[in-house]
Structure 1
Amino acid sequence: MFIAGIERDRLYAPLLLSLMGFRPAEVVGLRWTDLDLKLATLEMVNTRTIIGNVQVLEKDAKTAAGERVLPLPGPVLDALKKFRARRAREKVAAGEGYTESGYVVVDPLGVPRNTRHLREHAYRLMRELEMRQVRLYDARHSCLSYLANNGVPDHILAAWAGHTNARFTKRKYVHVDVEDMRAAATAWDGFHGGDQKGPM
């Protein structure tokens, strides 16, 4: 519902990156030079963290494993291409008033956004869609849980998350809810003869 509801939003592409399981600091730290839209890959090497809602601290990825190259899903790739084209139009419209920072997540005048800006933007969209407020960082948990529950191997899951330890990824980020266990209930039907008629 959230993805469908924000499709026309200016920051649709960056928000899709959040829903891919990236940390908010990774999303706002992303630069166009980190993207290869021809090969459909993204290199995660830079973060921008805000301290005390005031100071922005820019640094390398959190760990060596955090520096990773990931393939871009089709919808995310398409959204990034459209966002880049929109940014080009905004730059022409702003003229000399445009700031060329190289970052992906910027305002219409090219000024880089930080994690607080991205978070507040997402919360506003959630309110407009009459959805409950969910932290962007929690989307990381949801993404990794979805991938794990749909058969992505542990070592791939850890690499996607930027972790060295697959057990840590599953313990901290992978959560199983009742719908995830529906297939197990169906399998159990066969185990106890659920396809038979009448009492056993």
Structure 2
Amino acid sequence: MQITYDKKKKTWSCRIWYYKNGVKKSKYKSGFKTKKEAESWGIDEKRKLERLQVGTDKLTVSEFLERWIKTKEDKLAPTTLNGYKTNIRHINEHIGNILLSKLRLIDIQEMVDNLRKSGLKYRTVKYICRVLHAALEYAIKNEYIVSNPCDGVEIAKDEEEFAVKVYDAENLRKLLLLLREQEHPLYIPVLLASMRGLRRGECLGLRWSDIDFDNGVVYIENNYVVVNGRPYHKKVKTKESRRVVPIDGFILDELRAYRERMKKAGQIQTYVCEIDGRLPDPSHISRQLKTFQRANGLPECRFHDLRHSFAVLQLEHGTDLDTLRRLLGHSKIGVTSDFYLHNNINLIRKAVSNLDNVIMLDDVKQSKEAQP
């Protein structure tokens, strides 16, 4: 915007530049009595020409985000909504006071760099940027801004990438045996997570009525979470997460035996993983697991890593990716393959070994067969 003063006419004029269908254009008007009148015309005219809402030029980033998150309250799961609000607090600390109309890529880039310097991990900062990007897309849709200043932001990677801690078959067997021997309350949720790939909330949300003992299947429909001390019983997040998981054989026998013990003790409840008539806090489950692992000399891992262990062991024993995707409740096969195939040394070793066995030179093969 260019504001000029005509000394002869004693009036102000304003020239603005705007984009229409990707083409840069300009518009000029003169005859304003004051500089403020010229500026106001320029701001309002630019927004009209670019089809932006009049009046939003005074809206700060924090004010806009407050409006935006309210539109999400009935659409997001409690844990997701809480995560969004946490991310918004990070955003507001750095760029909340900037006018939405003035927000630029450099402002967001500085925020990202400062977040990384403060110690936040790459994945956390990426999540923050993803939330901000979604909010700004909403701003474009509602004609608050014309482009997304979040496009092009760069996030420095962690020097040490996050790695899940996967249990091999032997350690998993030890963990389950020790839990069962000690009749530990973690046994059933650990069994469901490590042997059938249930998420923590799905384990805790599983009801006895969801188990079909006659046909040996479990219907995964519910999720239990605690957000800011408040418990939520919700349906699982996506239609893919709502699934049927076979539990015939060993798992079925264990669940049936556990149910019988609870009946005899007069403790049979609505939810499979209830303890003394109530479900444990999910975070307590995770802490209990690490405490148990340390006390019994087992490798430490997060509760969610038991689900990863299930997936990796399934792949190593020949389960195809699409079947695994369905077992895990993933919406896309790419999610499954990207996570579980990347740098899996056992699968890589098995693949090259299979080729070695096919191509192996005759003299080498004969030499190996001759070895005692």
Give TM-score, length-normalised by structure 1: 0.83
- Cα distance in 1 for partners of 2:289, 2:237 equals 23
In structure 2, the residue matched to 1:36 is 212
Select which of 91, 103, 106 maps to 2:274: 106
Residue 133 of structure 1: CA displacement? 1.6
Aligned counterpart, 1:13: 188
Instruction: Give CA-to-partner distance per residue, 1:119-176, whole Å, 9 cap, x none.
Output: 2332232122111220010111121122123222222111111122112112124455
Based on CA coordinates, which of the two structures has the bigger radius of gyration?
2
Unpaired runs of 5+ residues, structure 2, are 1-173, 368-372
Give the distance between the partners of 2:332 and 2:208, measured in 1 at CA: 29
Structure 1, unaligned runs of 5 or more: 93-99
| Partner SS, residue 265 of structure 2 | helix
Q: CA deviation at 1:179?
A: 3.2
Return structure 1 stretches of 4+ with deviation > 6 angstroms. Answer: none
Q: Does 1:135 align with 2:302?
A: yes
Asked if the contact 1:142/1:174 (under 8 Å) is kept, the reply is: no
Report how far residue 71 of structure 1 moved. Answer: 0.6
Residues 222, 235 of structure 2: 8 Å contact kept? yes
Q: TM-score, normalised by structure 2?
A: 0.47
Change (3 A) 1:188 1:159: closer
**Aligned amino acid, residue 140 of structure 1:** R
Question: 2:327 pairs with 128, 140, 160, which one?
Answer: 160
The answer to whether the Cα contact below 8 Å between 1:91 and 1:110 also exists between their aligned partners in 2 is: no
How many residue pairs get matched? 189
Correspondence list, 1:1-200, <5 A: 1-8=174-181, 9-11=183-185, 12-19=187-194, 20-52=196-228, 54-91=229-266, 101-107=269-275, 109-190=276-357, 191-193=359-361, 194-195=364-365, 197=367
Instruction: Give the superposition deviation at 1:82.
Output: 1.4
Q: Percent identity?
A: 25
Most deviating of 183-192 and 28-37? 183-192
Higher relative contact order structure (alpha carbons within 8 Å, sequence separation ≥ 6): 1
